[in-house]
Amino acid sequence: MCEANAYMVEDGNEHLIMESVDTVEPEGADLWRLVNIFGEQKSLRGHIKGLNLVDHKILFQAPDNG
C-alpha cells in the first residue's frame, strides 16, 4: 500500500496528524479533508508544505495567523 502519514510542521518539528492517509482534498481556503485507508476522516487547517512520497510523508504547515 502506498498511503502516507500526514504531519503538521511546527517550529521545525513534525507532529503526526494521521497515519495511512489515502486521500487529501481541499475543503476551502487552508482547509483540507484527510481520509485514511481505514475510512477515518479528519479536517486540517493549514497549507501543504511538501510531499515526500517515497518517505510516505505529507507535510502541512499551520496557516499564517493574522
Residues 4, 57 contacting (CB under 8 angstroms): yes
Nearer to a copy of itself, 15 or 51 (CB): 51
The percent of the chain in helix, strand and coil, each rounded to the nearest 5, is 0, 70, 30
**4 binding a copy of itself? (CB under 8 A):** yes
> Which residues between 13 and 52 bind a copy of itself (CB under 8 A)?
21-26, 37, 47-52
Q: Give the nearer residue to a copy of itself in terms of CB position, either 10 or 26.
A: 26
**Which residue, 50 or 63, is less far from a copy of itself as judged by CB?**
50
What is the dihedral sign for C-alpha 37, 48, 44, 9?
Answer: positive
